[in-house]
A and B are shown apart, each in its own frame.
Chain A
Amino acid sequence: MLHFTRWKTIAILATAFFVMLCAVPNFLPRSMVDSWPKWAQRHVVLGLDLQGGSHLLLEVDGNAVRKEMAQNLVDDIRRALREARIGYTGLAVRGNGAEVRIRQANDYQRGLEKLRALSQPLGGILASTGKRNIDVTDAGNGLIRLAITDPAILDRIRQSVEQSIQIVERRINELGTVEPLIQREGTDRILVQVPGLQDPTRLKELLGKTAKLDFRLVDSTITAEQAEQSGVPADDELLKGKQGESYVIKKAIAVSGAELTDAQPGFDQRTSEPIVSFRFNSSGARKFAQITQENVGRPFAIVLDNQVISAPVIREPIIGGSGQISGNFTVQEANDLAILLRAGALPAPLTIIEERTVGPGLGQDSIAKGITASYVGSALVIIFMLATYLLFGVFANIAVAVNVAMIFGVLSLLNATLTLPGIAGIVLTVGIAVDSNVLIYERIREEARAGRTTINAIDAGFSRALATILDSNITTFIAAAVLFYIGTGPVRGFAVTLGIGIVTTVFTAFTLTRLIVAYWVWWVRPQRVPM
């Protein structure tokens, strides 16, 4: 137990030294560290509860995705049957799909075939499952039911999440914040962490809007009041404006906001009110030119998320593909709308299901308190160990100090996040790291009392105690592992430092403490155990 070859000694010291070195970038000024190569820059990331910042968990509205898929299916069915000139009735959304009744019995087989053609094998990573995206069933009596399969829905939700992440990223970047973290969580959630953001209100507003912008014609053949009374025509829908007034708008989208290439906030030249000027891509410009040419003198509506923000009358054809939107905006609103249009419309609405924001004041307080507690706790433990074990107490304290340095080293290597409970975890590790040394020392004293020679007592102490150290630490490690798995945020930070602490504790007990004592024995050749 006490015999260390030169190579072993060098290996142990080198490992400990190297890991401790990894902790260094944390304590040097940022400017210095930034000039080093990437692999040397690894450092501990402060959690939001220590840095201050906002944590938002967004969920993609799966139901909206489902509804849109069903609606698209209805459109596809309509197109397929019309092209084949098959008469139908009762085409409607049903559950996660649609149903339709073929009018004439001799059209039925052809109709079924055409609709079967709509079903396609799933692509991408799901291609190997051999499943299709739509199940077409014959429900008898000319009725055909089409259901979108669950894998297809999940796949679309997954795509929506990917798209949403990109759009969220663009929107957040407009705020000019520091390195936000945006990543997917689970099947339909997005985690957004913005360090340093104190008031997430504006961020929430930007993320809460789908920002689907459409240009559509107003149906001037019927007024809103007439439509409310006698029913809205099949091609139209009733939408409200900003002040609650109603409009009858054609369902067909003349030009979609997806064809915008740019949107900038500005001021109207004549009225000086805030506006958003926009520009279309070439196909959008063409469509826009056509619509405006055909409808001079009629109003057309600019619809944002199913609300009419403005409905100006077309004075002249607009061929250049650019224009401006005015809708009684404040400067902030115009700015935000421009941001949203540039970033793009979200494929499905995002809901904020969890929000945790910590102000910088609290963050700094927490760090200060954490550091104070660490110093006080360590001081108490150091003094106690010195008093109880004298010289060996010094050895134990060195081992614990190296232990803590190694914890920081490993955290840095992993670019792990340090939270306030994480700091508590380090303080606790100090308490428990001492335990391994205590186990060894008490065993040594016991063996010495039982009559062994000094060196044998020390040797036996180590060999008997190390098995126990391993057993007892593994059980705590299991608890830390479970906690890591089920925890989020700050709790996870605690699990990480606890887990790492246990590993480094076992390492230092098995190697460093033993090494120090071995060299002391070799150097001093003690006659008795000095504790």
Chain B
Amino acid sequence: MRPLRIVPDETSFDFMRFRRISFPISAVMSILAISLYFFHGLNFGIDFKGGTLLEVQVKADKADLAKMRTTIGGLGLGDFQLQEFGNPRDVLIRISEQPGGDEAQQAAVSKVRGAFGDSVEYRRVEVVGPRVSTELLSYGTIGLISAIGAIFVYLWFRFEWQFALGAMIANVHDLVLTIGFMSVTQIDFDLTSIAALLTILGYSLNDTVVIYDRIREMLRRYKRITMADLLNISINSTLSRSVITHVTVAMALLALLLFGGQAIHSFTATMMFGVVLVGTYTSIFIAAPVLIYLGVGQGRTEHVEKPEKE
């Protein structure tokens, strides 16, 4: 029986040729993502903005959103959002943070419960007061930054500093693009999103480290070929592994996306974008070529036509 081969055994695609295109594209995308963050903004959930979230299931066959909107509107609770959540009977109600501290949030919940009474089943209620939301936001940001820092230190320890820096550039780029994605789709940005971002960071690095490991081995083995050729060889030889792993992770994520339900939907969608789409691209087209620009393998001449093996 012949095994399945997605990637042929001896590929020799010239990936490095694209770095003159991939770098500008990445730069543009990053700037786009950053400006999206500042101008379009993220859809911060109550974890970071404070407020109340209620997931209710109406006992009737279908939720009458318009009627529910008027009911809540009449309670004088300020800004609120109502949306269908997965099926016609499930409604997600989001109420912005009430002025007046924690007691005010509790009062708002009682009002809503009073207004709807028994006509709905309360699947989930979350109330986050102003203090907790500020804390969660700062913890989340500090967490991301410290993870980046810790990993940078570890990589510097295991590889040379150029590798550590290269990996950081590639992976911060991943995070930036993912945040841009979240801004465009206005996906809920809450604590689980931070979890997704950190996981994307971890997995992307996984990839990058595998390629760097191979590059380091090649650097020791082949002293006379150009950096660009060496990088090409490294990527080509790990290409099979990269593709197969990405396919398996994509399958796992796809299962979660299709069958995991609404509760973790934003989490899995973010992961899918960050790990499968962006992660692969940056490992190959950013993480590797950036080493040239950081000066790894200087002293090897460019434009050598034939690689010499020792």
Contacts and interface: CB of A to CB of B under 8 A. Distances in A.
Contacts of A495: 195
Contacts of A354: 127-129, 132
A351 interface: yes
Given A355-B125, A431-B252, A494-B195, A472 B260 contact: no
A204 B110 CA distance: 11
B202 A390 contact: no
Contact of A427 (B3, B123, B125, B252): B252
A431 B3 contact: no
Interface stretch (B75-83, B203-211, B290-298): B203-211
B251 A381 contact: yes
B195 A369 contact: no
A475 B55 CA distance: 36
A482 B241 contact: no
Contacts of B38: none
A412 B103 CA distance: 38
A403 B201 CA distance: 23
Interface size classification for chain B: 35 or more
A434 interface: yes
A424 B263 CA distance: 11
Given A201-B113, A353-B102, A421-B267, A430 B126 contact: no
Contacts of B248: 381, 384-385, 431, 434-435, 438
Contact of B253 (A428, A434, A438): A428
A485 interface: yes
Given A353-B102, A478-B150, A428 B249 contact: yes
A405 B253 CA distance: 20
Contacts of B124: 356-359, 362
A353 B47 CA distance: 12
A314 to B, nearest CB: 37
A184 B245 CA distance: 43
Given A358-B124, A381-B251, A387-B3, A376 B210 contact: no
B32 to A, nearest CB: 26
Contacts of B132: 57, 353-354
A491 B191 contact: yes
Given A468-B213, A475-B155, A475-B209, A434 B140 contact: no
A220 to B, nearest CB: 35
A478 B155 CA distance: 11
Contacts of A480: 198-199, 202
Interface stretch (B19-27, B61-69, B141-149, B300-308): B141-149
A74 B45 CA distance: 46
Given A376-B258, A488-B191, A388 B3 contact: yes
Contacts of B55: 362
Interface in B48-68: 55, 57
A204 B251 contact: no
Interface in B80-106: 101-103, 106
Contacts of B31: none
Contacts of B201: 479
B151 interface: yes
Chain A to chain B: the 3 pairs with minimum beta-carbon distance, closest first? A377-B255, A476-B202, A479-B202
Interface of B: 1, 3-6, 9-10, 55, 57, 101-103, 106, 109-110, 113, 121-129, 131-132, 136, 139-140, 142-143, 146-147, 150-151, 154-155, 158, 191-192, 194-195, 198-199, 201-203, 205-207, 209-210, 213-214, 217, 237-238, 240-241, 244-245, 247-249, 251-256, 258-261, 263-264, 267-268, 271
Given A366-B263, A376-B259, A380-B251, 18 more contacts: A198-B122, A356-B125, A376-B255, A380-B254, A385-B248, A428-B199, A428-B271, A431-B253, A442-B240, A475-B205, A475-B209, A478-B150, A479-B205, A480-B199, A482-B147, A483-B198, A491-B192, A494-B192
